[in-house]
Amino acid sequence: MAHAVRLVAGLCLILFLALSVSAQTQPPTWQILVNGEPIQTEVAPFIIKEGQTLAPVRPVAEALAASVSWEYKTQSIVVTKQNTVVRFQANNRLVQVGDQLVDLSVAPEIVEERTFVPLQFLAESLGAKVLLDTDKQVINLMPLNYLDGKVNYQLFVENNQVTLLIENISPEPITFNFNTGQEADFTLTKNDQVVWRWSDGRMFTQNTWEHTLQPGKSYVVMANLPPVADGQYTLNAYFFGQPNPKQPVQTISYLVTQNSAQP
């Protein structure tokens, strides 16, 4: 009897250790969001391969307002959104985008009878920004036009201080997502040459964070302009809480005469 008890206890211990090892070796469960809303997939949301995120193409593409079809002649998954047409083939790194061929670092593959493709490439091809939150294990896809008609940007200068005002003009709260500690940037250009950039020489933390702006409220970013030679300049403001931070959200003319500036 004692031998049987020891045998059962031993088997339970082996099973516990096996389950513990299995749990430790399981990849973390991540979630894919579009505009902060989770999308439903019939298979695991994505897999990581060679530093790339692969996701099932259909639910992601459809959540980004694209259509997905099968092209028998070329054995391709075709993703279409307005004038953008992307053709993926399983186990083929070459992807056709319109008339161009793009060589991906990782080829699409079939997982549980579903086609998985590089998530960032798919999202950016369909006009979305990819935001990764490693702490929450969430990937948020933000269409580049999701703030259209919801935000009003104002840019003005007073006493060499530049102010960017971002106002929520929609009836709903808006969440801005940031990839680093940098909220915004400003540049002065003259004759299409950048003569000053606010962020030059500054260090920013690499952390993902967000800020929710209530209806009717404003988000304010300020910076000091340096002394510059007399002349006509263009002042550009960039806001990093919107999906396309490389695109200025507001631009004004900036005239400097005898050390006095006039926007």
Q: Which of 103-117, 154-168, 244-258 has the lowest mean pLDDT?
A: 244-258
**Distance between CA atoms of residues 40 and 130, nearest Å:** 18
Exposed / middle / buried, residue 76 (Cβ in 10 Å: 0-12, 13-18, 19+): buried
Q: Report the mean per-residue pLDDT for the chain.
A: 83
**Given pLDDT bands bounded at 50, 70 and 90, which one contains residue 16?**
very low
Q: What is the pLDDT of residues 74-88, one digit of tens each?
A: 889 999 998 899 999
Report residue 217 CA to chain centroid gap.
24
Extents of the domains making up the chain:
31-143, 151-262
Q: Are 88 and 109 in contact (CB under 8 A)?
A: no
- Asked whether the predicted pLDDT for residue 13 surpasses 50, the reply is no
CATH tag, 151-262: 2.60.40.2360
Q: Would you state the pLDDT for residue 222?
A: 95
Are both 31-143 and 151-262 of the same fold? no
Residue with tokens 């990782």: 106
**Given pLDDT bands bounded at 50, 70 and 90, which one contains residue 22?**
very low
Q: Would you state the pLDDT for residue 78?
A: 94
Q: Would you state the pLDDT for residue 217?
A: 96
Q: Which of 18-32, 136-150, 203-217, 235-249 has the lowest mean pLDDT?
A: 18-32
Question: What percentage of the chain has pLDDT greater than the value 70?
Answer: 86
Question: What percentage of the chain has pLDDT greater than the value 90?
Answer: 43
- Asked whether the predicted pLDDT for residue 236 surpasses 70, the reply is yes
Q: Is the dihedral of CA 142, 148, 150, 151 positive or negative?
A: positive
Q: Which of 5-19, 146-160, 219-233 has the lowest mean pLDDT?
A: 5-19
What average pLDDT does range 46-72 have in this prediction?
87
**Given pLDDT bands bounded at 50, 70 and 90, which one contains residue 259?**
low
- Asked whether the predicted pLDDT for residue 24 surpasses 60, the reply is no
**Given pLDDT bands bounded at 50, 70 and 90, which one contains residue 28?**
low
Please tell me which residue, 138 or 9, carries the higher pLDDT value: 138
Q: What CATH architecture does domain 31-143 belong to? A: 2-Layer Sandwich (3.30)
Q: What is the pLDDT of residues 56-68, one digit of tens each?
A: 999 999 999 899 9
